[in-house]
Amino acid sequence: MFATLSDRLTSTFKNLRTKGRLSEADIDATVREIRRALLDADVAVPVVREFTGKVRERALSSEVSGALNPAQQVVKVVNDELISVLGGEQRPLRFAKTPPTVILLAGLQGAGKTTLAGKLARHLREKGHTPLLVAADLQRPNAVTQLQVVGERAGVPVFAPHPGTQEGSDGSLTAAPGDPVAVARDGLAAARTRQHDVLIVDTAGRLGVDAEMMQQAADIRDAVDPDEILFVIDAMIGQDAVATAQAFADGVGFTGVVLSKLDGDARGGAALSVASVTGRPILFASTGEKLTDFEVFHPDRMAGRILDMGDVLSLIEQAEKAFDAEQAEAMAGKLASGEDFTLEDFLVQMQGLRQMGSMKKMLGMLPGMGEMRDAIENFDEREVDRIEAIVRSMTPAERQNPKIINGSRRSRIARGSGSTSADVNQLLERFASAQVMMKQMARGAGLPGMGGMGRLPGLGGKKSRGKMAPLPKKAKGKSGNPALRAQQEREALERAAGKKPAGAPGSAFGLDRPAPTSADPASLDLPPGLEKFLGR
C-alpha cells in the first residue's frame, strides 16, 4: 500500500545523509519533496499542509540544528509527525461494564464490512470473548448467506432470522420482507439470553449521499445503543475518504475507523487522512482476504513501515501466536544437549512459518527491506509448499539422518514430491548449511562471519556456564631449513634433559659478543665505603 510513498521518502532522506550540517535551503528542499510525495499518495491537501508545516518548523528548531547528526534528527521529526497524523497512541476497543458490548459496523457499499465482521469476531474469540454476529444487511443480495459462511469459518454463531435479498440462479432478485432495525434489536436480546459478551451488527452498505440509508443506520444505532461504531473504509479510495468520512460522521457518527484492503496497490492516502480529518482513531486494519489477515492498528508501527524502519514488534507477536512455547523450549534443550537439527525439526519450523501468514508480509516487516522490494514481490509463496512436499516424501529415518539418502532414495523422494533430483539435492545442501549454523549458534560461535556471541540464552552447559574456554596455545612449527630444523631438534632434546641450549649469547642487534665472565670484586676500582654492599 505505502510502497511508492516509502520509496520517495527514503530517497529524500538519503540525500540528507551526505550533508554534515543542514541549511535552511536543504530543509526547504526536503520539505518540498515530502509535500510532493504525500500529494502523490492522495493524502488530503489540508493534512499535507499541516504536516509539512510542522516538519519544517521542528527541522529549523534547535533540536535539529544542535544535533550531532541532523539528518537522523529530521527522520525522527518526520516519524513523530507521521505517528501524530495516524492517530498518536493505539486505542483499544471500549468494552461495556455490563455485557454484551455492542459493536456497530457502518460504511460504503463494497468496503468489505461483512468479511471484516468475521475477522473481528475471530480476533475477539481468540482473546477469550464469545461474540455473536447479527445479519442486519437485508438489502444486498446474498449478504445474509455470506455472513453465515464467514461466521462458520470464524467459529462464531450468526443471528439471522431473515434471509434478506436472495439472488436466483437466473440472476433474478427475491426480496424477503424484514426490518433491519427489528433484526438488530432481536439480536441484542438473543445475545443477552445466550450470554454472549460481544455483539457485532453488520449493516447494509450505503452511499454518503443516500439519506434514506443513512437514516436506517441511525435507527439501528438508536435501537441497540452501541458501545463502538466502527466506520469501515476502503483504503484505496484516496481523496474521497475525507468526504465519505465526514458524511458518515454527520449522518451516523462513529467512534473509530477500520481500514480495509490495506494490501492493495493504491497510494494509501485514506490511511494518512481519515484519522487527522475526523479526529477518530484507527483501531484495526484488514490486510488481505483471509480471516487471519487482520491486525490491530498501531500508528507508531505503521509509521515505521512507511519510513522503511520495519515492524519487528508485529513480527514477534505473530511468531508468538504461531510457535508453541513448549516446542521452542524443547528445541532449545535439544540444541543445548548437542543433538543435531534434523529435517523433522525443520518441517515443524516450516509449519510454524506458514501459520504466521504470508512470507512476503513477514519479510516486508524487517528493517531496510524497501531496497529489496522487487525481490520480495517476486518471491514464490509456493516454494514453501514444495519444500514441505519433499520433506514429507522422506522416511522417518531419512529425516533423522539425511546422510543415508543416496541416488536411488533421491529419485524416490523426487517422484513422491513431484520434483526433480536436483531439487532434492538443493534442499539437502541448504539444510546442511542450516545444520552447521545451528551447531555454531548452540556452541556460542555465532553466525558465520559475525564472530562469537557467547552461548545463547537457555543453551549454556553446566560445566562452562558463565566461563569461556581458554584458547589453545599455538604449537611452534618446525623450520623447512634442514640445518635450522636439526638445531631445533637438538635444543628440544637438551630442554627435555634439563640443559640449556648451547651457543654463544647473541646481541639484540645481531652482533656477537664474548660470553660474560664473573669479575673479582677486589680487582674493581670502587670508591671507599662500597665494600659492605659486595657481600664480602
Q: Which residues are annotated as a binding site for GTP?
A: 107-114, 202-206, 260-263
Three-class DSSP category at 105 = strand
Q: SS3 for 32-79, per residue?
A: HHHHHHHHHCCCCHHHHHHHHHHHHHHHCCHHHHCCCCHHHHHHHHHH
Distance CA 443, CA 453 (A): 9
Check: CB of residue 515 under 8 Å from CB of residue 505: yes
C-alpha cell at 237: 479510495
Chain centre to alpha carbon of residue 115: 24
Distance CA 26, CA 71 (A): 10
Check: CB of residue 33 under 8 Å from CB of residue 8: yes
C-alpha cell at 82: 507521521
C-alpha cell at 150: 464467514
Distance CA 496, CA 490 (A): 10
Distance CA 212, CA 269 (A): 29
Chain centre to alpha carbon of residue 351: 18
Check: CB of residue 417 under 8 Å from CB of residue 389: yes
C-alpha cell at 70: 541532523
With CA atoms as reference, report the closest residue to 80 among 93, 92, 63: 63
- Distances 407 to 187, 279, 383, 387, 388 between C-alpha atoms, Å: 65, 66, 23, 19, 20
Give DSSP secondary structure letters for 114-132.
Answer: HHHHHHHHHHHHHTT--EE
Long-range contacts of 290-295 (CB under 8 A, 24+ apart): 290/357, 291/118, 291/119, 291/122, 291/150, 291/153, 291/154, 292/122, 292/357, 293/119, 293/263, 293/357, 294/116, 294/119, 294/120, 294/122, 294/123
* Residues annotated in a binding site: 107-114, 202-206, 260-263
Cα atoms in the 13 Å half-sphere on the side-chain side of 477: 3
Check: CB of residue 108 under 8 Å from CB of residue 233: yes
Contacts of 319 (CB under 8 A, 6+ apart): 352, 356
Tell me the backbone φ, ψ of residue 16, rounded to 5 degrees: -70, -30
